[in-house]
Chains A and B, each alone.
Chain A
Amino acid sequence: MASRALDERRAQFQRYKEDVKERGKPFYPYAMFHDTVMSLVVVSVIVGLAVIWKFTVPGDHTSTKPGLLGPLYTDKADPGTTNFVPRPDWYFYFLFYLLRIFKWPESVILGTVGIPTILLMIMLALPFLDLRRERRLLRRPVAIVAAILTVLSMGVLTYKGATAKEALASEVVQAVPTWAKREGFSGNPQAVAGAKLFAQSGCTACHTYLGTGSSNLGAPDLTAIGKGNQGAQFFSSYVSNPRQFGNKVMPVFGNLGSQQNIHNIGVFLSVSKGPK
């Protein structure tokens, strides 16, 4: 059987060579013309991207502000930084997001080494997994499904990686006046102070508030947490010791400087009744 398949493959390649010899066209200039046009497009796109990159950067030329295609450079590398959010280049976003998906210590190795290695192995072994001669798309259903799934999952992972946000304390604090306006607690100094502390204390590393923050760890959205009218005292005691309320995941914030600080956060959460 195997030898018959081999014979058929050889015969097909023989036919291919004869067909090309008989009916083919010379590479130059027919095919090469198309190649040249395509290469011109490629070079133009590269130059175009470089120009757009440079000329959409606002401010003077030493600025690290992003233009349409991102900044010319970010700040100089600081190995001792405590407020930087690292991101890879876009073509590693899929891997970056894969690492966020595997958020259990036992599964870290799957995201870092396991899945990329398996993908590489499958790619290398592809010609030996698919031994049929059939090349027409509609007769290769498995290949089609695999291709669509691969493209979809890579696309989704890249998109999720590109839009994954972390909430840096300094940036979240700037959003506090907007929060106060939209939630309508601008006139309540305790709530505003609590919101500031909420923003600084890394609460948005797990929670989201009016779209700011990270939902990766599955903590609830706090935009409208005060709707149930539990009152500031409830939230204060919850934040200072979530264990009392059966929450074993959330960090204990009891040591937030002073009792006043805890109370301010409680007030802030109790007046958060959703955007008005």
Chain B
Amino acid sequence: MSLSLRRLVALCRKESYQIVRDPSSILIAFVLPVLLLFIYGYGINLDANRVRLGIVQQDGGVEASRLVQTLQASPYIAASLSSSEAAMRQQLQLGSVRGVVILRSDFSAKVRQGQGAAAIQLLTDGAEPNTANFVASYVQGVFQLWQAQRQSGQAEPAGLTLEARYWFNPTTVSRNYLVPGSISVIMTIIGALLTSLVVAREWERGTMEALLSTPVTRAELLLSKIIPYYLLGMAAMSMCVLVATLVMGVPLRGSLWVLFLVTSLFLGSALGLGLLLSTTTRNQFIAAQFALTAAFLPAIMLSGFVFEIRSMPLAVQAVTYLIPARYFVSALQTLFQAGEIWPVLLINLLFLLLSAAFWLGLTAWRTPRRLDGN
């Protein structure tokens, strides 16, 4: 494979003109990422910050009132109080509260007898298990706090107290891990979806035939597609990192050069996949459909970005090992939240490298020099 710098530069320049003049590529590369970042950063919130909790207080005793006060004082709970259980159940059905705590009329009495835990009832909305778990654990936490206070008030030393502490994301803000994850989705869109169109477009418009009748080589053709879109991807990445850290306040604890390395490797496999689809289908519509199913959906569903891989069925877990986004998400979340944890990063880098080599190699092999294949 010979390479002429003049021809390569000419082709890259042509490609950049086309990117700049095509409003849809600018839209996909710069507007869509910002939109997605804000949707994942602010629109989707997996925290149960200030969950709406209904409290049915049927007992006027001191112990019950203390517990209610403790619940109301919690920064994680927005409590509304009622004495009617039926009314609160209705609220739960409507979804205006996420859980209901019921304190029966004999609560204070039972607490004094030492049976407090048995007398408290918590109803949560099982239709949203994630939120239900949050509600349960928050209420549990408050209940323990209340017990601790009660015991310390009685000057009885507590046997054991559990103090929860979250590492890496101490405030457990879901944005901090959703935003790095969404960057992987954005890079997939730019890398695979955008490039899935470019070679097919040349076939559809008949320009590929004209190119192939000039002295261009296979390497020049391939590089002229990879280089401009790699640069576009890196530009979009820089923008995403700036928006994430400066505007959205997501911490970045790893170093920029590792981030650059990880992104480059991931872009390698995304570009390779996009170009391969474009080259083999020679049809923009089909290539884009394939890119959506083969790259975009797995990046969302199987990368561990939203849905935790360990909670997937084993067969699906096995499939995730084939998805480059899986390694990218893991590397990004590590870099943003924890910093350079090399054992984690190295394994991800290794798999990203293999994946990039595989897809780019396959594309190089499938890039034709004639109309009838190779």
Whether A and B are associated in the same complex: the answer reads no
Q: Which of A's residues lie within 8 Å of B, judged by CB? A: none
